[in-house]
Structure 1
Amino acid sequence: MDGFDWFSGEPAAAFAHAHASGRALFLYWGASWCPPCNRIKADTFARPDFAELAQSFVALHIDGDAPGAQQLAAHYKLRSYPTLVVFRADGTEVTRLPCELAGGRFVKTLALALHATYTVAQSLSAALSRERTLSDDEWRMLSFYSWDTDEHQVLKNLDFAAALASMTRACTLDDAGLRLEWHAVHAAAMGGKAGIDQRSVIARICAALADPKTVCAQMDLVITYAVDLIRFLTEPGSDARAAFAQAWAAALETLISDPTLSLADQLSALRVRVRLARLGAPLEHMADLVRARVAASVAEVSEPALRHTVLNTAAGILADASLPEEAEALLVAELERSHSPFYFMHNLATIAKKRGDPVRAIDWYEQAWTSARGTATRLQWGTTYLQSLVDFAPHDAGRIDRLSGQIVDELSGMADPSSQRNATQLVRIAGKLGAWTGRSERAILLRQMALTLAA
């Protein structure tokens, strides 16, 4: 994150500085081990145009493991890593930006937000009520809003899929309307909603996928929504699924070889392309292709943040291509070099579970917990380790008892044990120990503590 100064100190002071200077504030909420955080740090935040634009706003970084960070997250409604929010100088929230955008697109969208006349919440209200005509830039802001990190800031209690469908019908800007429609269909897919005209939606999506310029502009959605929409809009084994998957695969091939995209984004497109091989779009010589691309990519990167996200995606590609041993070897070889080896240990545990080796999976979860750093991260990693013990070794009461005692000790020393992401872990702990039939005094204490703090 070189090239400009991130505000250091209390967030309240950053907001006060923004207010006093009349500048907007850009907030980045993240964690050192988070691959999307590392991607945006290595790509977008390192861009000269981002650094230049940063001269016009106050840049605030809140690390999820900083003291009291989860309390701050509750105040600003932050949860997922990363969450990227633009505020006016007076502290009014303007919008939340999706981290998956290509670097150049992100900078352009951020610039729109910095000069926006209306907040996204105001534009959404007008779009749904039809109380006034929205400008093209308002539609752009709505189409590039980070719905995944909204935390009910804009949507409140609205029906997500219905709101997006309504905006799609009202949108007067073609590019924005296309994004909104894809968001709407995906929301319907995730909500299990019926009533979608599948043929017409597939036809419109395929037309977009056939246009390289549209594919590049829609890069984030082409990558993120491929598998979900193919499964939602077509039947397994059908000719329609095969044709749709092949159309999507061709679009992904465009992204995989696009020199304007970052290496991380090219690899993300390749990973989805590999997954489509199981949905009707075979990939010739897949194993050899994947091995060659992964080896070249890993050899190319050395900067820690970029390497972290590249290694994570590369291991995922190998695993998805039915090469789990090679994915495992890649991750193990990276542990000594990585700035967040405990993150990769979770991936190694997943590989062990899929291989049918729960003992090895538990061992990786234990190593991850032992080496994890940061209060919120340690609680999350400890919870996952505890869950693996209850699931795969419920008879090992001694191990569960020891881990429960360690978590109790760490909770007792935390400033914000019941806030935001920490509260999520407490709910997981209480539920898992509540279902455990073993006996442990410290496990009982931990469950009671989790229930009390999460209440």
Structure 2
Amino acid sequence: MAASEATGRAFPYRRSPMRADSRFPAMLVLLTGLTLAACQADTEAPAAQSTADADQYLAIDWYDGTVEEAFAEAERSARPMFLYWGAIWCPPCNLMKSTLFQQPEFIAKTRDFVAVYLDGDTQRAQVWGEKHDAVGYPTLIVFDSAGRQMTRLPSTLTPESFLAALNDASSGLAPVTELAQVALSGERALTAAEYRRLAYHSWYEDRRTLAPEQYLALFDRLAGQTPEDDPELSRRVQALRLSEALGASEPKVDSDHYAGLMNVLGAEEHDLDILMMFSDKLSAAFATLATEPAQQEELRGALAGAIESVLANPTGSKSAPIFSLGLLLELERIDNAEAPPSPELLARVVAAAEQADSDAGTQQERQSLIFYSYSLLRDAGELERARALLEKELDISEEPYYFMSPLASLSFEAGDVDGGLRWMGRYYREARGPATRFQHGANYVRALTEWTPEDTGAIIAASEEVLAEMRGQPDALANRNLRSFGWLVDALQAWRNEHHAGLSLAALDSGIAAICAEHAGDDSVGACTAMQQRLADSTPGM
């Protein structure tokens, strides 16, 4: 059976022996982080992980077969299925691999499941991702033996919390979609296990289970039913409710929300996963919840105390100091988002980055910790330190191309456009795997259109190169690939409208038409022809 058909063997690739504020740089930083939200091996040259890393993964009995066969095996054996969807370059994926996937208790628990490792760059992986609404890496889904999706689990949980949630996930409860409706209707009280399933569901990546306005309604309901004998679970639900409310375009909060936040922050021990729910929302909290000086001072002290608590007891996580210091940096900048960090905090940031570099031993640890350290140094304004850290990693990482996008951003912001484009070219051309290469190629074209809009020849040539790679790919119009296709067309349309009105893109039309023709029977062919038409429509006379 072909492991390349999106399967569960943990190592679909073997590596060859030789591996700002300006509009686009900000996009680069965001995409690099989110394809995390923020995410191909060259199909002609297999990739690999080191033998030591492979030995670690083999402790988990990943299903050796296609996804279709895994579902059949789950039904035959009456076992639930645990699906891991990720990518070999993705920092949060590698963080999981270096923590959770090494835990003996987790490894033992996976034997109760048909465990499937689905790399987003294996053949038809994007088709399966689309079928099960898995876009961001990593996504972790539990199915029952009949193939129903029961829940998704956050990759940010501590190993202990994840194991508890996984135990609940295999307990035969109703799917999250059903339990959410029970909670919203109030038709009956939830059992403790049902409540935990909803509380530990990965809501931040699952935005299709409910209508947009129902998420806050659900968390309001759950917050009003928190179990008295489980304060940690209660704080988690309060944090979900607050994060959802503060993230609204027009937050609607009151004194009850402020009391809930102070309750979350008043715990004796703190879970970084809960505190990170407020990342990028601290300004909203101060603007809407703490409107009086006394409240602001109280909230500032409570937040600082909670973050320092994690720093003092990082529960064995090498990434905890990096994320915690990022929150402290955000807190320091409440009154001025552009303010440099205090000397004391800057010293701690630099020390944490150096410590992460020193402590990261395995490829998985380095792929995650080095990227997170770079992000922290960059946010603190330590751009040269950030650059040096990334450049050093190019000679160490088995997936070095991932670090070339932030290097391009740093170069561009320093005024070195040519250097930035060289990095972006390598970021694309050295990437491995069809979905990753297409994503990187679309970003490369976008960089060309925004950084050197006058270079029509280079932009057309790069676009043709990327489109040519799409042809012959069975999942070219699925999931992340279709999204990358959209980025490419968006970039070309905006570039032509802004800089070259009336320019003919006929050279690209045939390439897009060929892709659409290859997928004439797919549901997504309409999106393909629509993108082809968008480029044609914006050209007068075509």
Flag whether TM exceeds 0.5 (same fold): yes
Match for residue 281 of structure 2 among 228, 231, 254 = 228
Query: What residue number does 1:328 align with?
Result: 387
Residue from 233, 244, 250 that aligns with 2:299 = 244
Q: Deviations over 1:16-68 (max 9, x none)?
A: 11111111110000011111111111100111110111121111011100011
Give the conservation status (yes or no) of the 8 Å contact 2:99–2:159. yes
Aligned to 2:109: 53
One-letter identity of the residue aligned with 2:319: A
**Structure 2 CA distance, aligned partners of 1:298 and 1:452?**
44
1:190 corresponds in structure 2 to 247
1:424 paired residue among 473, 477, 483: 483
Counterparts in 2 of 1:454 and 1:200: CA distance versus 1, 3 Å: farther
1:123-178 deviations in Å (ceiling 9; x for gaps): 211111111111112111111110122252x3256532233223323444554343
In the TM superposition, residue 275 of structure 1 has moved relative to its aligned partner by: 2.9
Asked whether the 8 Å contact 1:86–1:93 carries over to 2, the reply is: yes
What secondary structure is seen at the aligned counterpart in 2 of 1:85?
strand
Aligned match of 2:222 in 167, 183, 186?
Answer: 167
Return the TM-score normalized by structure 2: 0.78
1:216-247 deviation line (CA, Å, top 9, x unaligned): 3xx21202413314434427998454543442
Alpha-carbon distance in structure 1 between the residues aligned to 2:527 and 2:239? 42
| Contact map agreement 2:266 2:302 (CA 8 A) in 1 | yes
Q: Output the amino acid matched with 2:390.
A: L
- Confirm or deny: 8 A CA contact 1:241 1:280 kept in the other structure: no
- The SS at the match of 2:82 is strand
2:184, 2:217 within 8 Å by CA — same for their partners in 1?
no
Q: What is the Cα deviation at residue 271 of structure 1?
A: 2.4
Is 1:31 the counterpart of 2:96 in the alignment?
A: no
SS at match of 1:373: coil
Distance in structure 1 (CA, Å) of the matches to 2:427 and 2:61: 32
Which whole-Å CA distance do the structure 2 matches of 1:224 and 1:142 have between them?
A: 16
Structure 1 SS opposite 2:224: helix
Task: Say which of 210, 216, 241 aligns to 1:155.
Answer: 210
Give the corresponding residue for 2:435.
376
Deviation at 1:280, TM superposition (A): 5.5
Q: Contact 1:401 / 1:441 at 8 angstroms: preserved in 2?
A: no
Quick one: which amino acid aligns to residue 327 of structure 1? A
Alpha carbons of 1:56 and 1:285: their partners in 2 closer, same or farther (altered >3 Å)? Answer: same
- The alignment status of 1:285 with 2:339, answered yes or no, reads no
Aligned residues with identical type, % of pairs: 28
Amino acid at match of 2:507: R
| 8 A contact 1:26–1:84 mirrored in 2 | yes
**Structure 1 equivalent of residue 444 of structure 2:** 385
Query: Within 5 Å, which residues of 2 pair with 1:34-113?
Result: 34-113=90-169
Alpha-carbon distance, 1:365 to partner: 1.2
Residue of structure 2 equivalent to 1:180:
237
Higher mean C-alpha deviation, range 134-143 or range 219-228: 219-228
* Deviation digits for residues 315-357 of structure 1 (CA, Å, limit 9, x no counterpart): 1111122101100000001012112111111121232344344
- The one-letter code sitting in structure 2 at the alignment partner of 1:181 is Q
Unmatched segments (≥5 aa) in structure 1: none
**Which residue in 2 is equivalent to 1:405?**
464
Q: Which moved more, 1:331-340 or 1:143-152?
A: 143-152
Amino acid at match of 2:268: P
Displacement of 1:111 in angstroms is 0.9
* 1:11 shift after superposition: 0.6
In structure 2, the CA distance between the partners of 1:232 and 1:441, relative to structure 1 (3 Å rule), is: farther
- Tell me whether 312-321 or 181-190 shows the greater mean CA deviation: 181-190
The residue type paired with residue 453 of structure 1 is C
Matches within 5 A, 1:252-291: 252-279=307-334, 283-291=342-350
Which residue of the partner structure matches residue 207 of structure 1?
Answer: 263
- Give, in angstroms, the shift of residue 413 of structure 1: 2.3
Are 1:14 and 2:70 counterparts? yes
List aligned pairs for 1:291-370, cutoff 5 A.
Answer: 291-370=350-429
| Aligned residue type for 1:133 | A
SS at match of 2:281: helix
Give the 3 Å change call, closer, same or farther, for CA 212–362 of structure 1 in structure 2: farther
The answer for unaligned runs of 5 or more in structure 2 is: 1-56, 517-525, 531-542
The code of the aligned residue for 1:328 comes to R
Q: Give, in whole Å, the separation in 2 of the partners of 1:211 and 1:78.
A: 34
Q: Which has the higher contact order (CA 8 A, sep 6+)?
A: 2
Distance 2:212 2:276 in 1: 28
Contact 2:242 2:261 in 1 (8 A): no
Cα distance in 2 for residues equivalent to 1:44 and 1:422? 29
RMSD across aligned C-alpha pairs, in angstroms?
2.4
Q: Distance in 2 between matches of 1:38 and 1:25?
A: 21
Shift in CA distance, 51/454, structure 1 to aligned 2, threshold 3 Å: farther
State how far apart, in whole Å, the 2-side matches of 1:44 and 1:84 are. 12
